Amino acid sequence: MKIVCEKDKILKALNSVIKAVASKTTMPILEGILIQTNDNEIKFTTYDLEIGIEYLMEAEIEVQGSTVVNAIMFSEIIRKLPDTQINITLNEKNLLVIECEGSLYKLATMNPEEFPELPKISVENSIQIEQNTLKSMIRKTIFAVSIEENRPIFTGCLFQTIENKLNVVAVDGFRLAWNSTILKEKTNDFSAVIPGKTLNEVNKIILDSFDTIKIGVSKNQALFEMDNCKVVTRLLDGEFLNYSNVIPQNWETRIRTNKNNLQDCFERISLISASTTEKEKKYPVKVLIDIGKVTISCTNQTGDAKEELYVSTEGKNLEAGFNPKYFLDALKVIDDEEVFVDFGSNISPCIIRPIDNEDYTYMILPIRLKE
């Protein structure tokens, strides 16, 4: 095998596949990257038995071949080489020789025949969506997936199509994020829960462009296909929350406010809420709504803080406690200038949604305040 390629192109390929390399495994082959040539193309493949990524790139192939090399070592060497042409050769001793200007590296390789094949997915349902739309939908929901492994189904996002509308939903037991978009092409109704880890990596690969990406699902696998890249992943098993039944449809108290002003208040109050004296402990903030005004306050061993914001209010006065991080996570991903924040009672969920956009809803459960 003998390859001549530009550093920027191979580095882009490696950055796309590196996240599917197994980090803790008893199988050294899974710590590798499979390199295969075909005519004037190189295919890079990584697979940790849960998520697999393939990336195709054009290059000057002088001798065809295939090999497996440690992915982290290979990518770090490439990353630190000069920004110019790189020669990569598999020599007669099965060492991968990397040459660039005055740099010369030789890496041990593994048998490519031992590298596990990516699952062949028999797609039962699929959708096509613009990459920038998918990127936005992941960004607006992924932060609300659970990091607790005791309920694995909530460590992923629900992808659900109903009447040609795609809903993406994330929930962690304390909050819920829902985003939807109308699909341009007719599709069957289906649902699948895709691991958050996979969606994070897909989000890094896809572009903020109108190019399309195809998402296909089978019974237990999902496939993301772009022009030069393919991602396969297992689906999560279990019953996802019936989210439409838990999002409140009515409110007792509503505020309408500038999104950035509210976000700034919560960011400042979080300086006190995030206690420095007790590791990892987060203190709730008190949200007090009066006519035309919302007051956000917090008191702990570090000190106390109060923020007042003049807003448009409707309904009853209210006092409730919340984790300020949950407010901030939602406000940071809302692009609209103004938001509604709807409350039921001090023990019922709070809803944040844009004023002029019905495609995004975010729900937070309150925290009981100590007397």
pLDDT tens track for 325-368 = 999 999 999 999 999 999 998 899 999 999 988 899 999 999 98
Residue 42, Cα to own-chain centre: how many angstroms? 27
Q: Which CATH superfamily is domain 125-245 in?
A: DNA Polymerase III, subunit A, domain 2 (3.10.150.10)
pLDDT tens sequence across 150-172: 899 999 999 999 999 999 999 99
Where exactly are the structural domains of the chain?
2-114, 125-245, 253-364
Judge contact between 174 and 326, C-beta under 8 A: yes
Average pLDDT of the chain is 94
Query: Which residue in 142, 132, 146, 239 sits closest to 181, CA to CA?
Result: 132
Q: What percent of the chain clears pLDDT 90, i.e. is strictly above it?
A: 88
What radius of gyration, in Å, describes the C-alpha atoms of the chain? 25
Quickly state the pLDDT bin for 227 (edges 50, 70, 90): confident
Dihedral of CA atoms 161, 166, 171, 175 in degrees, nearest 10, equals: -130
Strand partners, 215: 127, 224
Judge contact between 223 and 216, C-beta under 8 A: yes
Quickly state the pLDDT bin for 78 (edges 50, 70, 90): very high
Judge contact between 336 and 354, C-beta under 8 A: yes
Confidence (pLDDT) at 279: 47
pLDDT tens sequence across 13-23: 999 999 999 98
Judge contact between 269 and 305, C-beta under 8 A: yes
Look up the CATH number of domain 2-114.
Answer: 3.10.150.10
3.10.150.10, 1.10.10.10, 1.20.1070.10, 3.40.50.10540: which CATH number matches 253-364? 3.10.150.10
Confidence (pLDDT) at 320: 95
pLDDT tens sequence across 276-330: 455 445 678 999 999 999 999 998 888 899 999 999 999 999 999 999 999 999 9
For range 124-130, the mean pLDDT:
96
Judge contact between 41 and 58, C-beta under 8 A: yes
| 149 pLDDT higher than 50 | yes
For range 121-144, the mean pLDDT:
96
- At 281, list the tokens: 């402990």
Domain 2-114 and domain 253-364 have a common topology = yes
pTM of the predicted protein model: 0.91
